[in-house]
Amino acid sequence: MEEHYSEPVSPTGQYFTSSVISVSVIGVLESEIPIDNSHTFSLLKDLFLPINPRFSSLMVKDKNGKKHWKKVDVKLEDHLNLPKFPAEKSPEFYEECLTDYLSRISMEEFPQSRPLWEIHIIQYPTKNAKGSVVFKLHHSLGDGFSLMGALLSCLQRADDPQIPLTLPSMIPTGHALGSGHGFCRRFSRVLSGVVNTVVDFGWSLLKSSVLEDHKSPVRSGEDGVEFRPITITTLTFSLDQIRQIKASLHVSINDVVCGVVFLGIRMYMQAMKQELTNAKSTALVLLNTRNIRTYKTISEMVEPDDDDSSWGNRFAFLHVPLPRMAADPLSFVLKANKLVRRKKNSAAIILTGKLLDALRKLRGPEVTAKYIHSTLKNTSMTVSNIMGPVEKMALSNHPIKGLYFMVVGVPQNLTITMVSYMGRLRVALGTEKGMIDSPKLKSCLQNAFDIIFKSAISSTA
């Protein structure tokens, strides 16, 4: 009898479930009140599962070895976890318990006998919340844009559930060329774009094959780091202060964030090992490749994959070298602006996508997955950013105080993720235990932000 499949697994989904790499996303919602889990099963059944067929599907292979999603009956109890910690302890104790718990589940593989997601309800007060809801979803289900859209469909505004959440627009800021010099300016841009494409694509090929970053306090260069325990720590920046820096330097918000991260990393390297302060290091900055300005509704996102708003994995890596240590902290923001602006005037990302597609067709998804694994392993860190709501959210009448996420299973010692919410930017650091001093790194990033903010304000005084 012929098997019935919902849809084929996307190429990226195949890469992320290969023998060489398995990537998942962990998201944490922090509740302002103790969590009542009495409605959990009904919420999962009525709100979560209907979002996308993949949440009710197994990943299986057909007789030709191609992967497909196969619809199954979901046993919700297999996906829900209620961990037990010692009773009557302090929030600091439970904070440590949560950190250890997140580290443990980040290393666990999903059973192939059920859909690739799970929920963990932490009913203990930490320093930041009265309780936490932890989502773990395999990256083959979708990228950060898809999963944020799914999350938002389960949440309401805390002040009035009838009013939709307000989301920031994805309109690009800065970097637009004026039209004053007509043909000469257009020709110059096309010519520089060709040069940038050749240089960037060639460098990307080298970085994905033979050219590795230097070993440093944030990169061990060892094999198998994706199987080692990690620590997830977070810090928060004010979006208003980021906008002040943006206005002062005439750059984008992403330029400011990248500049802070790059300066903070260099300060950490300097503090940990002076001679490696300026080690050659590269960040893979993730870009959403959808040509849209805001999140779509779930019904719009589950349209066929050739639509820009569709569900799935639609992102690309941008190789960005970390600037060398400099006396002027603002130079990190300005260099980030220059680097990203130059790389966006390049078709290297498109060519890399074509290369991966050709490699998959000629050699298969396993070989392509090895290429992606090498791309990640040869660099020092991944940096990704997702936009969240402006107003306070609520999940089943539980006001959400904060949220953050982390990408796990990548062959790097350091991963940095960011999400905006209620006027704040929450930065999460995924660091290898025993290799990176996460409190020190967090302190360096905070110091970098404070220094850049002070310098930017002083420059306009």
User: Could you read off the pLDDT of 224-246 as tens digits, one per residue?
Assistant: 999 999 999 999 999 999 999 99
Burial class, 372, CB count within 10 angstroms (exposed 0-12 / middle 13-18 / buried 19+)? buried
Model pTM? 0.87
Answer for the pair 117, 125: CB distance below 8 angstroms, yes or no: no
Q: Which residues of the chain have pLDDT under 50?
A: 1, 170-188, 190-191, 289-309, 312
Instruction: Give the per-residue pLDDT at 461.
Output: 62
Residue 198: what pLDDT? Answer: 72
pLDDT at res. 177:
28
- Which domains, and CATH codes, for the chain? 7-157 (3.30.559.10), 182-388+411-460 (3.30.559.30)
Provide the pLDDT for residue 385. 86
Q: At 258, which amino acid appears? A: C
